[in-house]
């Protein structure tokens, strides 16, 4: 039962082949037995999940069931959940229990979903390996000695281990796509503003975007149907009609023009990863798509621009964590200054402190123009590269990550090496474009991800391209040994 996709679960519940209580109980037992070795969940809401499943079964029996009625999923622990701890992977919020739901959580609740729990993550979504979590690192089910990617590593690992059929996640510089690639699952970052950020703990407000992770493109389309909405509480939410993302999944790809950026196939790309990606591109040619060589000339500036803009925004967003209103508070502060300093010093981890310091420096008097303003100018150039490319192609494809999953500690002493893990994903966040990753092969039994980048609000076309690839291949159906 744990091998069923979201689409198969919905069909099974509709036909009466099994109940929500049965599949929810099965997955909760699986989490209890297997997750201690993966650490993909921070909080498991077993009692509430079973109660929701029972209510869903009653609702379904009444003949009035929304699409996700009784379907179990998990939420990344960055989304506020009413009455359930929302830690954001940090000691700072270890005791924080929100009195409200994030819009994404609300939307799934209205669709009838059952929540299994909250998944582990890099602290405040800052990381590419899920090694910075206060609750310990998440382990990759394909190789427990390797990282699952980050920051949404808990959601990706839970999917790969077949502990949940779907999970929410967030992507600030690749945090949906990179862990999806390293764990062999499918993940989608929508266009900036397509999914509400209200109730999602902020890291970098102009970059953060919520999205779905699942085992197939079809499942991601189903989840995006539930997640996407206009939200007047979020000033960055786009007031635009939400299409049915499943409607065009089966369209042929005979007229599809795929841009291949030369900058994504150069130095630093693992040879095995490149081979898997090029074989995937050959499959698209077999289906009638046309490959077009393109250039994104400013892509090499994406990482340095991002690591000015994101820390700058983080330094502002995280200033709210001061020990006064909520979250961690140091013991017996002498005065307000001592309260602030010790609360933040004790509550934040090393990577969060590093980014706050970098961000505060970039925004300081005398350096704002040299760093932050310049980074925003570079951001405009990167966006223009994509605008020019999409004048001639429909989608852009290449590797999601430069290499498969790496060993724990391999990049811990070199933050720059860790930051370069997002070299192929960061540019889409800077431009606000949608992107997704889907499995396309293996290197030494570790998954490889193919990245698809679309034009603004072209999530449907991306999902169509991904679905057609997955109909012709079985990479997305493969499971780690012993977890089938």
The DSSP bridge partners found for residue 446 are 443
CATH H-level, domain 6-256: superfamily: Amidase signature (AS) domain (3.90.1300.10)
Catalytically annotated residue among 76, 118, 139, 411: 76
Phi and psi at 405, nearest 5°, equal -55, 135
What is the predicted pLDDT for the residue at 345? 96
pTM (global) more than 0.85: yes
DSSP result, 43-90: EE-HHHHHHHHHHHHHHHHTT---TTTT-EEEEETTB-BTTB---TTS
* Cα separation of the two ends of the chain: 10
User: Which tens digit of pLDDT belongs to each residue from 48-80?
Assistant: 999 999 999 999 998 889 999 999 999 999 999
To the query of whether residue 152 is one of the catalytic residues in this protein, the response is no
User: Which tens digit of pLDDT belongs to each residue from 374-388?
Assistant: 999 999 999 999 999
Domains of the chain: which residue ranges? 6-256
User: Which tens digit of pLDDT belongs to each residue from 264-297?
Assistant: 998 889 999 999 999 999 999 999 999 999 999 9
Contacts of 284 (CB under 8 A, 6+ apart): 253, 256, 258, 291, 397, 465, 469
The stretch 178-200 carries a mean pLDDT of 98
User: Which tens digit of pLDDT belongs to each residue from 389-442?
Assistant: 999 999 999 999 999 999 999 887 778 778 788 999 999 999 999 999 999 999
Contacts of 278 (CB under 8 A, 6+ apart): none
Average pLDDT, rounded, for the chain: 96
The stretch 122-127 carries a mean pLDDT of 96
Catalytically annotated residue among 20, 87, 151, 152: 151
- How many percent of the chain have pLDDT more than 70? 100
Check if the beta carbon of residue 69 is closer than 8 Å to that of residue 112.
yes
3-state secondary structure 84-153: ECCCCCCHHHCCCCCCCCCHHHHHHHHCCCEEEEEECCCHHHCCCCCCCCCCCCCCECCECCECCCCCCH
Catalytically annotated residue among 40, 133, 175, 216: 175
C-alpha of 81 from chain center: 18
Q: Grade residue 482 by pLDDT with cuts at 50, 70 and 90.
A: confident
What is the predicted pLDDT for the residue at 416? 77
Element containing residue 280 per DSSP (H, E): helix 271-286
To the query of whether residue 235 is one of the catalytic residues in this protein, the response is no
Q: Which tokens sit at 285?
A: 């040619």
Which residue, 115, 39, 53, 125, is CA-closest to 83? 115
To the query of whether residue 175 is one of the catalytic residues in this protein, the response is yes
């Amino acid at each position: 039962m744990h091998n069923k996709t979201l689409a198969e679960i919905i069909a099974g519940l509709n036909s009466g082949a099994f109940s929500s209580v049965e599949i929810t109980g099965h997955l909760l037992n699986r989490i209890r037995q297997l997750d201690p070795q993966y650490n993909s969940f921070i909080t498991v809401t077993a009692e509430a999940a079973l109660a929701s499943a029972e209510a869903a079964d009653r609702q379904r029996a009444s003949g009035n069931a929304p699409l996700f009625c009784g379907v179990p999923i998990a939420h990344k622990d960055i989304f506020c959940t009413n009455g359930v701890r929302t830690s954001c992977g940090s000691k700072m919020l270890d005791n924080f229990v929100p009195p409200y739901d994030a819009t994404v959580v609300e939307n799934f609740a209205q669709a009838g979903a059952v929540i299994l729990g909250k998944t582990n993550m890099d602290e405040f979504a800052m990381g590419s390996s899920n090694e910075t979590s206060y609750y310990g690192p998440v382990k990759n089910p394909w190789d427990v000695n390797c990282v699952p990617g980050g920051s949404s590593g808990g959601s990706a690992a839970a999917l790969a281990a077949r502990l949940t059929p779907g999970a929410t996640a967030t992507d600030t510089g690749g945090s949906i796509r990179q862990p999806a690639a390293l764990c062999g699952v499918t993940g989608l970052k929508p266009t900036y503003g397509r999914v509400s950020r209200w109730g999602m703990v902020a890291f970098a407000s102009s970059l953060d975007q919520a999205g779905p992770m699942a085992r197939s493109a079809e499942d991601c389309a189903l989840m995006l149907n539930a997640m996407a909405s206009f939200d007047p509480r979020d000033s960055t939410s786009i007031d635009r009609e939400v299409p049915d993302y499943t409607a065009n999944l089966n369209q042929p790809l005979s007229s599809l023009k795929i841009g291949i950026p030369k900058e994504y196939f150069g130095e630093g790309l693992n040879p095995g990863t490149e081979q898997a990606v090029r074989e995937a591109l050959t499959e698209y040619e077999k289906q009638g798509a046309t490959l077009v060589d393109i250039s994104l000339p400013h892509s090499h500036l994406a990482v340095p621009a991002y690591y000015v803009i994101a820390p700058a925004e983080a330094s502002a967003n995280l200033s709210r964590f001061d020990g006064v209103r909520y979250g961690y508070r140091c013991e017996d502060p002498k005065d307000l200054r001592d309260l602030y300093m010790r609360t933040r010093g004790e509550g934040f981890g090393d990577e969060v402190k590093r980014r706050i310091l970098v961000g505060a420096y970039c925004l300081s008097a005398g350096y704002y123009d040299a760093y932050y303003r310049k980074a925003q100018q570079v951001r405009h150039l990167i966006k223009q590269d994509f605008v020019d490319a999409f004048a001639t192609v429909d989608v852009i494809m290449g590797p999601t990550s430069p290499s498969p999953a790496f060993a724990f500690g391999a990049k811990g002493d070199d933050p720059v090496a860790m930051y370069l893990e997002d070299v192929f994903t960061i540019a889409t966040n800077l431009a606000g474009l949608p992107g997704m990753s889907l499995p396309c092969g293996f290197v030494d039994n570790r998954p490889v991800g193919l990245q698809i980048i679309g034009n603004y609000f072209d999530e449907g076309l991306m999902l169509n391209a991904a679905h057609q690839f997955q109909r012709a291949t079985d990479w997305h159906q493969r499971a780690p040994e012993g977890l089938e």
